[in-house]
Amino acid sequence: MSSNYLEIIRPGINTTFQDKGRDHLYHIGIPFSGAMDNRNYLIANKLVNNNLDSAVIEFAYQGPHIKYSGEKINCAITGDVIFSIKKKDTEIEGKCYESYQIENGDEINIISTNKSVYGYLALGGEFDLKFQWNSCSINTKANIGSNDGKKLDVGQRINLKKINSNKDIKKTNYINTKIENIRVIKGTNFDYFSEEGKKIFYEKEFTVSKLSDRMGMRLEGPKIDNIVNTNIKSEGLIKGVIQVPADGNPIIMLSDHGTIGGYPKIGVVASVDYDRLVQMSPGSKIKFKEINLSDAETLFKLYEMETQNLLSQI
């Protein structure tokens, strides 16, 4: 038995292990999964001197309350998160994007994400987890990945099989920017919708519904009218696809999405905006803005350069 471990005092709402996810499996019905907000996932690992593809604990809204036992280890939380670290005789208010050293008996209490959805807890070391298809990412729908594909639960013990020898404390000044518009590329069934429907899609505001999770984000607002057919022959989906079923309310496919779908696709979220899209909590307003493929490619390149810059400064 490992002598370095975490104990879950309170699991939080949707707490899972995530890493870079798994690829080459769409054709059998398995999506990428992986950390929803990839940039915050990478930063969390870098702050605790991990390999960038290490597993972290992802939480949504309310996070876990964890007790640590073992030798000294670094931890860091990324996102927009309210948390505290309880030491023997003191409790400190935690700051995101800074690493902390914790020791035997210390507790991390992640109270909630702030006007956002996902946060990440990285520990400077390696969790002892089962891998399936080169990833420990938990897909709770198909019960794939570590922890038998299930969310973390109260009372559970999670072992670490390695602790990093590099215990340098790191810090970065990253601020999660919110964006007003989510940029989208025209979908393959764009012409299924009425002129009025297309106008509504690009000009009106939509609200993120409570019925959103790692599989998809449902939107509410003005209805988008279909004039051709509310069903298509089922075909592949990718993350970011915006489907509009018969009720006229768009659904955006997220990282754990079903791999095949039969609703018309009005648009696809540009890759550059995916990390920020997933952080929009229920009740947030979304407006879509059309961009073309070549702008989307350029914007993603810039976003990726910015991510690499951020990481290299840590």
Applying CB under 8 A, the residues found at the interface with other proteins are 23-30, 32, 132-133, 141-144, 149, 185, 187-188, 233-238, 240-241, 258-261, 265, 268-271, 293, 296-297, 300, 304
Closer CB to other proteins, residue 125 or residue 261?
A: 261
Task: Give yes or no for a contact between 118 and 77, defined as CB atoms under 8 angstroms apart.
Answer: no
CB of 28 to other proteins, least distance (A): 5
Closer CB to other proteins, residue 207 or residue 259?
A: 259
The Cα–Cα gap between 119 and 75 comes to 13
On the 0-12 / 13-18 / 19+ scale of CB atoms within 10 A, 153 is exposed
Closest CA to 21 of 250, 199, 258, 256: 256
The Cα–Cα gap between 282 and 206 comes to 11
Closer CB to other proteins, residue 59 or residue 303?
A: 303
Closer CB to other proteins, residue 17 or residue 32?
A: 32
CB of 47 to other proteins, least distance (A): 22
Closer CB to other proteins, residue 181 or residue 234?
A: 234
On the 0-12 / 13-18 / 19+ scale of CB atoms within 10 A, 2 is middle
The Cα–Cα gap between 47 and 288 comes to 33
